[in-house]
Structure formats: C-alpha cells, structure tokens
Structure 1
Amino acid sequence: MSRIISWVEEASKPSYIPPAGAIDAHCHVFGPEAEFPFSPKTKYHPADAGPEMLFALRDRLGFDRNVIVQASCHGTDNSATLNAIAKSNGKARGVAVVDPVINDEELKLLHEGGIRGVRFNFLKRLVDDAPKDKFLEIAKRIAPLGWHVVIYFEADILEELLPFLEAIPTIVVVDHMGRPSMTQGRDGAEISAFKRLLDEHPNIWTKVTCPDRLSAQGYPWDDFVEVVRPVVERYPDRVLWGTDWPHPNMQDNIPDDGHLVDVIPRIAVTAELQRKLLVDNPERLYWAD
C-alpha cells in the first residue's frame, strides 16, 4: 500500500514575520514508522514526517517553538510525540492521547516528557469509540497536573457535547473552533453557537486554525478570515494558532504552510493580538512551569 503524503515538499517563505518566541501550537509528527509503528486501528497510513522535518519547517516559517499534538494514526502510544519533544532542545511541548486505564505513574512520566494536555477526538471518521464517561475520568485525573483538555468535534454535535464540556474541571481547548461552516458567514448559526459557548464558559479556549480544512472558497481563504477575525478580537486571551502540519488526511487539498502563516495578520490585525495569539496564550498553557 502506498503511504499518504499530505504536505508540500518545501513550504514557501511567508511574508509575515512572527514575533519573537512565536509558538506553532498545533502540529503533529508521523513516525518514523520503523521506530514508532502506527496503531493497528489507524484510519490512514501516512509517510514518515518526523521531528527533523517539523523543526526545519518551524525555522523556515519563523517560529521558535512547537506544541506537538498526538496524531490519531499513533493511537494511545505517545512514543513518537515524546521522541519529538525530547529532540527539540526544550522548544516543544505536547498533547497526548491516553488510554482510560492509564495509571498515575504513567501520567507523571508523560508530564516529565513534556506533555501538558490530553486530546479527546469525537470525529467518527478518525476514531471508533469516544466514551464520554471515561474521558471525564481522565480529565479529572489530569487537572491536578495543571494540564488541559483538547477536544476535536464537528459543529453538528456541539449541543450534544455541552453537558460533557461543562463537566470538565480544567481548561478546554477546542480544535479548529469545532469546525463551523464558513458558508454561513461571520454571523452564521454554527459560529454564533460556538461564540455563545465561549461567552458562557471562560475556561474554554479555541484554536483559530485550518483555513485549508474549513474554507468553502479555497485559497486565499477569504471566507475563513471573515468568520475568524471577530473570534480573535472577541476572545484575545483564549485563542491559539498552529499550522496543523503535516496536515492529516489533506492529501487531496495540500496547503502551503507559508500561505497559512500569512493568514495570521489577517485574523489578528494588531501586533498585540498577534503576540497574544502566538506567544502569550500558548506560553500560559504549555510553558508555565
């Protein structure tokens, strides 16, 4: 079986220069498979995209640090993510995916390895099971470590997830704003429902990421900018940004990471907003200790 490549060989150099200390707060590594095999349950089989590639991209794009989110192709074995953090010279932290039966000693080892959050995935095309009760148990156990929860879901299940989200006793970070429709515009039903969630729950943050996934218009993603700029301006202390490299499952619509970086000043239009988005906010979550 041929392995999937979902990233450009060499990203263009962005016009936008991030502020000193900027953090790509949502990216992944794949393998290398020979050293870190993929989960037998994986829904996709990517080519290797290891830490050396990630850090070379970081430097090319003008960023200083990374937050590496465990990719679903590796299941609950976080070895590839931990390996990348260990090779970063202190310039990376991570978000793990864990088995509900994980013990406290294993959580401690993840913390020592640079993990600062756990991810719960509710996308049926990526995972077979998303047990809310077991996820909530994990959330209660990681809260004393100062970790947060990252949640990936689509807009059509937001209302269904509300009781679960409200029961989480720590910071919650929603991936890609819960994937609202961009065709509805800046005042559309789905983004409005998501903003109500943020209004009512100050512990909920979001990643203003993935125009390549969410835009209905395609590059240069004007519909994404129109919808997302007001989110950044309304919640400046609760937004994060990341490339999503190496763009899992985007092999049919591969974005140029340099173009993604050039969206930043279009959604965060002042130097203050850019610094909060790229430096201050991710530092609070990942480098507070």
Structure 2
Amino acid sequence: MAKTFTMDADWLCFDPSPSKPGFVPPPGAVDAHCHVFGPGEQFPYAPERKYTPCDAGRDQLYALRDHLGFSRNVVVQATAHGTDNRAMIDALVHSHDRARGVASVAPDISDDELARMHEAGVRGVRFNYVKRLADPKPDAYYRRIIEKIAKLGWHVVIYFEAPDLAEKWDFFTSLPTTVVVDHMGRPDVTKSVDGPEFGLFLRFMEENPNVWSKVTCPERLSRSGPPSYDDVVAFAQRVIERFPDRVLWGTDWPHPNLSMVGHMPDDGALVNMIPRIAPNEEHQHRLLVANPMRLYWPE
C-alpha cells in the first residue's frame, strides 16, 4: 500500500504559474540546479528527513524548463529523499537525454549500482554540510565515496554556509575531483563583496582550479528581497567575471525550505536576473551552455 505524506504546515509550494521571462536564454541553455520531490506515494520520502515537502515531480519540472526557454536540466538529489535516488533517476530516464543528475550515496554503495546510475545519467554526488537540512559526516565517510566515484569521472557538489569554509578548508582543498559549490557558498550579502568573508571564497576558487561555483539562489541569499534581489547581484557578478569558465546557473526549482525566507520566487523573474549578473553574451553563453555542457555532456 502506498504511503501518504503530509507536507510541513509552513512549507511554501512552488509558483504554479511563473511569468514568462523577458530574457531569452541562448539555444541549448541548461538549468544546472533543480530538484524533484516524489510524488511521495511513488517515491517515498526518507524516514530520517528533516522536512516533508510538497510533491514536485518530473513532469512539472520539464514543463517549467520549456516555459522558461531552457533545453536541459541537472537534477540534484534532494535531502528529503536521503540516499534513495529513485525519484531523481526516474526524472533522468524520462528526459530523453535532456537531463543529468547529482546523487546522494553512502560509502557502501556497490560499483554495480554506481555503474547503473552512470548509465542513467548521474555525473556527481552531493555532500550537504548545512546542519538544518542534513547531518554532516566525518571526512573519512566522504573520502570512501570519492574513491568509488572518481573512477567514473564524477564530480563532487558541496553545500555549505560561508562560516563553514574556513573550518572545512583543508578537506575541501584536498578533494581530487572537480568540486562544484552550491550558491556561492551562501555569502552574507549584508557584508561587503570586497570583505574578508567573501574574499576567502574567491581565494578558494582562485587557488583551486578544480573548484566551480553555482551563481544561484538570490531568493535565499537576499535581504533586500524580490523581485530584483539587488544585494546579491555584485556577488554573482564578481564570481562570473573572475571565473567565467567555472560557473553554472540554475533555478533551484521547486525552491525547498523557503519558509524562513517568507516568499516563493517567480521563476521567470529569476531568469531575468541572468543578464544582470552576466551582462555580456559571451559570459551568458559560458554560464548557461558551454560550462554545463562541458561538465555534464562532454561526450
């Protein structure tokens, strides 16, 4: 019998009717950071989850892709599903090769299972250090995973908050794979873009050419708020200007865990931010097409 899930009382559901963006993404553009949730009756949420979301399945994701003018997606495993990657894999299998995935796995995963995931389109694993969303593990736990996935050419996605970078510096800088940082390491945008905290993140990228960044989630980072999220623009611009070949962009649909932020963004408005953070067409093409294709569809 299918299990019924009740979403958290304060959960904010995605906008079912986002605006059509005025900015038209270049042909082949990739939404390189998004998720699927359930449906819970088909793909149950993990018993150890720290939140229960609304269902947000692959059909809704791909309808949004088409509405916003994108060609492909990178579907990142959501913590509500733990290491059960079936919902994410199902989205990849039904994408007609227009999606790749980032999984969450445990060290005891078999090589055969990793091979099947690779065949389905998985190209990376995610390590979540945000304590309100996950329970970070010791470094040795993650190293055992890296030993298994490195031979497949997969990369590692790390999600952390700005104060965590100094603490995890030695581990993060020792990773042998390509490393993709979610949301610019969640900078405090009330501080200066030229200040020491964001300076440490820029140094992290400068000194480690294997490190990439997603210039994503103004709705999470902003204090000035929608629809323009003005206080985030300078941070994203700085990363794109300095590292144009190592940046990615994504919607973060369906925008999980925004109850503390207090609003659900309009995905069309988020797309309209792209020319503000990447003002010239060359940077837009690298951000949306060349970089994600090189990382996720290199063959």
Range class of TM-score, shorter chain: over 0.9
2:245 to 222, 237, 242: 237
Displacement of 1:2 = 4.3
| TM-score computed with the length of structure 2 as normaliser | 0.94
2-structure distance, mates of 1:245, 1:148? 21
2:287 maps to 1:280: no
| Partner of residue 46, structure 2 | 39
| Partner of residue 265, structure 1 | 275
Displacement of 1:129 = 3.5
Q: Deviations over 1:237-283 (max 9, x none)?
A: 00000000000101432111011101100011111000000001001
2-structure distance, mates of 1:154, 1:131? 17
| Partner of residue 253, structure 1 | 263
1-structure distance, mates of 2:155, 2:254? 23
Report the number of matched residues: 289
| TM-score computed with the length of structure 1 as normaliser | 0.98
CA RMSD of aligned residues (A): 1.0
2-structure distance, mates of 1:189, 1:58? 37
Q: Secondary structure at the match of 1:134?
A: helix
2-structure distance, mates of 1:12, 1:21? 21
Displacement of 1:185 = 2.6
CA contact (8 A) 1:23 1:66 kept: yes
2-structure distance, mates of 1:112, 1:30? 22
2:33 maps to 1:26: yes
| Partner of residue 117, structure 1 | 124
Matches within 5 A, 1:1-289: 1-3=6-8, 4-219=11-226, 220-251=228-259, 252-289=262-299
Q: Secondary structure at the match of 1:167?
A: coil
1-structure distance, mates of 2:245, 2:149? 22
2-structure distance, mates of 1:45, 1:225? 31
Q: Secondary structure at the match of 1:250?
A: coil
Displacement of 1:204 = 0.4
CA contact (8 A) 1:185 1:226 kept: no
CA contact (8 A) 1:29 1:80 kept: yes
2-structure distance, mates of 1:115, 1:98? 11
Letter in 2 for 1:136: R
1-structure distance, mates of 2:137, 2:245? 29
Letter in 2 for 1:242: G
Q: Secondary structure at the match of 1:25?
A: strand
Task: List structure 1 segments (4+ residues) > 3 angstroms apart after TM superposition.
Answer: 1-5
Stretches of structure 1 that go unaligned for 5 or more consecutive residues are: none
CA contact (8 A) 1:136 1:167 kept: no
Letter in 1 for 2:265: P
CA contact (8 A) 2:12 2:263 kept: no
2-structure distance, mates of 1:143, 1:100? 13
Stretches of structure 2 that go unaligned for 5 or more consecutive residues are: 1-5
CA contact (8 A) 1:98 1:118 kept: yes
CA contact (8 A) 1:12 1:256 kept: yes
CA contact (8 A) 2:101 2:121 kept: yes
Identity %: 56
Displacement of 1:136 = 1.5
